[in-house]
Amino acid sequence: MATKYAHHEHLGHVVFITAAAAIGGFLFGYDSAVINGAVVGIQKYFHVGPVEIGFVVAIALLGSAVGAWAGGGLADRLGRTRTMQVAALLFAVSSIGQMLPFAIWDLAFWRVIAGFAIGMASVIGPAYIAEVAPPAYRGRLGSFQQLAIVLGIAVSQLVDFLIVQLAGGNVNNPLWGLQAWQWMLGACVVPALFYLTFALIIPESPRYLIMSGRTRRAREVLSEIEPEDTDIEAHIAEIQHVLRTQRVPGLKDLRGSALGLLPIVWVGIGLSIFQQFVGINVIFYYSSVLWQSVGITQSASLLISFSSSMINIVGTFIAISLVDRIGRKPLLLIGSAGMAVSLATAAWAFSAARTVGKTVTLPDPQGLIALVAANVFVLFFALSWGVVVWVLLGEMFPNRIRAAALGISAGAQWIANWAVTVTFPAMAAWNLPLTYAMYAFFAVLSFLFVVRWVRETKGRKLEDMG
């Protein structure tokens, strides 16, 4: 298999269309993490406390859960590229709405709409990429989704930092007629328009075209993405056979004897939940507040958040280089072990925090250890669970249930993300070290889950999954 694709004549075209599809992941990362820099500004502007701000930050994730659940069905009804176009429009409109809220509930409403678009993008990107990528390159091309997510996170942190610098170091300072935090939230309209443009020009997935009866167009697309020596007619016949012998995708196809769902669907749900329960998005949603809570200035905390995002990118490139070499399962196990150790170390370091008056500080060397441990955690997550979960969710399910199962799994991921995000402010105020110890415990459980339930998919054709 690897030899066949070593001289893939159309690989450049495949890379282009998968990268274009992954722009949805960029928006996913940007829109999810941009709130990090705006949290303090929103609190002061609307005069709300930690419970309310936790609700506003997390409410987008409930929208994401609904969007992920609906995205699979929309992708099977409208097509992969048309669903991307809908998501791009929702991204653009919600960005303007978030930039110009007139009340806290209005901001929450637009964050739900943005979340819905994020959820759709989280489903359609991996599904589309898996369906157009050759098996020998599918892991690396599937990694584009996570690479785009971490790039979106990094760019959002950089944009936050630059905007607050332009506004004189405070997110509530005026800037071009608005407060700085409003520009942070509105800037997402730019990549949303890029996403819409590319979604209008990339080809539809050949598997969806065959599913919807457009075999001639599917033949044209396959001839553009497969090597020249590929037997296109045999490939079409194989896809048709799989689709003909299995029912039309739907939620009813996910039912099984294992607590109401097929075992493979439960594995997807488990991967999604553990990816969030290790607390990774606490770093990207609340890191500026976290570092400010232990004595670091607002501007410096945003710079630290950006450095964490750069480490996230480095880890993602490591994963891309390894996912098709050593496989999915070994990377997950390495990541779980590294996350467990680094999170436990961070929990120990945060236990040394001291309050003098209203100022919280971390003494040396615990302050440095906490910073290093947090970034080591980000690195191990990025080189393993950040990339591999999305690769697996895009490829591990049989053809007939891929979009629906991906929707359920991504929906579970967003609900888990919401649970972590909405509880962190209150839990951190109650006991920050114990909160991080809990995330370390889930990292240990994730190791055991992978050992017992996750099967290797490296090099297998999508038609062989099941």
Angle at 382 between CA 376 and CA 387, to 5 degrees: 165
Tallying the residues shown for the chain, one arrives at 466
Residue 70 phi/psi, 5-degree rounding, is -75, -30
Asked if 414 contacts 122 with a C-beta cutoff of 8 angstroms, the reply is yes
Instruction: Tell me what pLDDT residue 100 has.
Output: 94
Instruction: Tell me what pLDDT residue 4 has.
Output: 42
Structure letter (DSSP) for residue 297: -
Instruction: Tell me what pLDDT residue 348 has.
Output: 92
pLDDT, block means (10 residues), the chain with 466 residues = 46 84 86 80 85 82 83 85 93 94 92 91 83 76 80 86 86 89 91 92 88 86 76 82 63 59 87 94 68 63 77 89 88 96 92 65 76 91 90 80 79 84 80 90 97 81 58
Query: What are the residues facing 175 on neighbouring strands?
Result: 178
C-beta atoms surrounding 326 within 10 Å: 12
Nearest to 83 by CA among 117, 106, 52: 117
Provide the sign of the torsion angle of the four alpha carbons 342, 320, 385, 287, taken in this order. positive
Terminal alpha carbon distance of the chain? 20
3-state secondary structure 122-183: HHHHHHHHHHHCCHHHHHHHHHHHHHHHHHHHHHHHHHHHHHHHHCCCCCCCEECCEEHHHH
Residue 178 phi/psi, 5-degree rounding, is -125, 175
Report helix, strand or coil for 261: strand
Torsion of CA 161, 312, 406, 56, to 10 degrees: -30
CA 26 from chain centre, in angstroms, equals: 9
Entry pTM? 0.73
Amino acid at 391: V
Rounded to whole angstroms, how far apart are CA atoms 100 and 117? 19
Cβ-in-10-Å burial (0-12, 13-18, 19+) of 102 comes to exposed
Asked if 164 contacts 37 with a C-beta cutoff of 8 angstroms, the reply is yes
Asked if 118 contacts 27 with a C-beta cutoff of 8 angstroms, the reply is yes
Rounded to whole angstroms, how far apart are CA atoms 196 and 51? 35
Instruction: Tell me what pLDDT residue 52 has.
Output: 83
**Sole residue written with tokens 């930039």:** 99
Rounded to whole angstroms, how far apart are CA atoms 44 and 50? 11
Instruction: Tell me what pLDDT residue 457 has.
Output: 75
Give the start-end residues of each E strand in 234-375. Answer: 354-356, 359-361
Instruction: Tell me what pLDDT residue 360 has.
Output: 58
Query: What are the residues facing 359 on neighbouring strands?
Result: 356
Asked if 58 contacts 114 with a C-beta cutoff of 8 angstroms, the reply is no
Rounded to whole angstroms, how far apart are CA atoms 122 and 22? 9
* 13, two tokens: 């075209």
Structure letter (DSSP) for residue 359: E
